[in-house]
Structure 1
Amino acid sequence: MSAADWGIIMLSLRIAFVAILFALPLAFAVAWVLARYSFPGKSLLQAFVTMPLVLPPVVTGYLLLVWFGSRGALGAPLDEWFGISLAFRWTGAALAAGVMAFPLLVRPMRLSIENIDRGLEEAARTLGAGRLVAFFTVTLPMLLPGIIAGAVLGFAKALGEFGATITFVSNIPGETQTLSLAIYSFLQTPAGDSAAIKLILVSASLSVAAVILSEWLQRRLDARRPG
């Protein structure tokens, strides 16, 4: 592995990690709302959350470019007021990866929340625990396997993201060129097969390891469910 290859791997890991770090709290909040509340528009919210899975990734990337580009409705204020530029930056790649991984974060957490025995929470409340104490001492420990499983699965998705990323932030070596984009670039050059194969093996190994870890955590979650 060359220094350039390691640079691509480390950039990909950084982008995937940042994507999940920022997407996870929002995904948990959405999962909690979907699992615990009934309200008008719930089906619409569920459909909106699922959209990155059903839309072509290029469409998602184009929408991100429209909203978060330098002249976008959100991108222009971010750049002007806070100096945050996302288009054609690694931070934009993290945003694209987080958006594409978002449904995979929400689903396992929503299932975990729906399968919690609410009686345990009520028992903690009757023993004098407040809402926050009951959440952190009773609810959260039961949710951890689902949260971790979703985070790992989302990380694997973010690590392999291609379509939305190349549309939103292009394929810039050293800035936005992740494993998937580097593999694509190498396959477009006559002598790039060997370099592409190395990165394909690395990408496949990381993805398989993440999926295996997610499945193991999900089995632990299933074993802890009542009944």
Structure 2
Amino acid sequence: MEWLRLSPDEWTAVRLSLRVSTWATLVSLPFGILVAWVLARRDFPGKALLNGLVHLPLILPPVVTGYILLLTMGRRGPIGGFLDQHFGIVFAFRWTGAALACGIMAFPLLVRAIRLSIEAVDRRLEAAAETLGASPPLVFLTVTLPLILPGIIAGMILTFAKAMGEFGATITFVSNIPGETQTLPSAIYTFTQIPGGGQGALRLTLVSIAIAMTALIASEIFARRISRAMDLG
């Protein structure tokens, strides 16, 4: 079983993937909740366009999304250049850029899961809270948010899992730099391109499966606990 032992470089790729996926999930979450609430609760001109833009990464080839990020968020891009010159923030060829690419690719899954949960909430409960004098933000925090927690958890798990497996957009936007942007999928791809790299690719594949299964089991346990607590309440 010696072949199952990860090398230092492989451990680096694992830690980087966990870091990138965690940040992609956490940073996307508030925006995902806001966009999901707007799409579920508001009617306005351009709603179909917003919905289309949100889900566009699911339709476009990941390489196209990565190239668009490179054009806009690179150091010579309009947004990336502005952030670099005025704030010293650089995304291209950095692990932060990998987190950005993963977050964008997984954002539609996050919004979809939360939006479905919001649409399933009984509007009469929110109306009852409003008649008691609660402001809209307070209604959301005390009524809507607790009811949609299982959907939020599901969306976060989907986002994390998608980020862990993202390859096309990240390798196009931030390349495949060991120790900086080489995530698990990139490392597996690298192993498949070198002679004798089959064992390394298999090791990292098993690690990816183990992380994904652990996340799914943990989310299921957490969602059940929340549902049980809500039933008791």
1:150 pairs with 2:155 = yes
RMSD: 2.1
Aligned match of 1:60: 65
Instruction: Pick closer, same or farther for the CA change 1:195–1:20 going to 2, 3 Å.
Output: same
User: Identity rate of aligned residues, in percent?
Assistant: 60
Counterpart amino acid of residue 13 in structure 2: I
Aligned match of 2:125 in 117, 120, 124?
120
Deviations along 1:109-167, one digit per CA (max 9) or x if unpaired, are 00011111111111112223222322211111001111111011110000110000000
Aligned match of 1:176: 181
Matches within 5 A, 1:1-227: 1-212=6-217
Instruction: Pick closer, same or farther for the CA change 1:30–1:22 going to 2, 3 Å.
Output: same
Instruction: Pick closer, same or farther for the CA change 1:42–1:215 going to 2, 3 Å.
Output: farther
1:145–1:220 Cα contact (<8 Å) kept: no
Unaligned runs of 5+ in 2: 1-5
Counterpart amino acid of residue 34 in structure 1: L
Secondary structure at 1:84 match in 2: coil
Q: How many residues align structurally?
A: 225
What's the offset of the Cα at 1:221?
Answer: 9.2
What's the offset of the Cα at 1:208?
Answer: 3.2
Deviations along 1:15-35, one digit per CA (max 9) or x if unpaired, are 011111111111111111110
Deviations along 1:173-225, one digit per CA (max 9) or x if unpaired, are 0000000000000111102111111000011222233345556777899998x
Whole-angstrom CA distance in 1 between matches of 2:226 and 2:39 = 19
Counterpart amino acid of residue 30 in structure 1: V
Deviations along 1:32-61, one digit per CA (max 9) or x if unpaired, are 111001112111111111111110000000
Instruction: Pick closer, same or farther for the CA change 1:31–1:221 going to 2, 3 Å.
Output: farther
Q: What TM-score, normalized to structure 1?
A: 0.92
Counterpart amino acid of residue 97 in structure 2: G
2:150–2:227 Cα contact (<8 Å) kept: no
What's the offset of the Cα at 1:104?
Answer: 0.6
2:95–2:180 Cα contact (<8 Å) kept: yes
1:109–1:147 Cα contact (<8 Å) kept: yes
Unaligned runs of 5+ in 1: none
Whole-angstrom CA distance in 2 between matches of 1:154 and 1:167 = 20
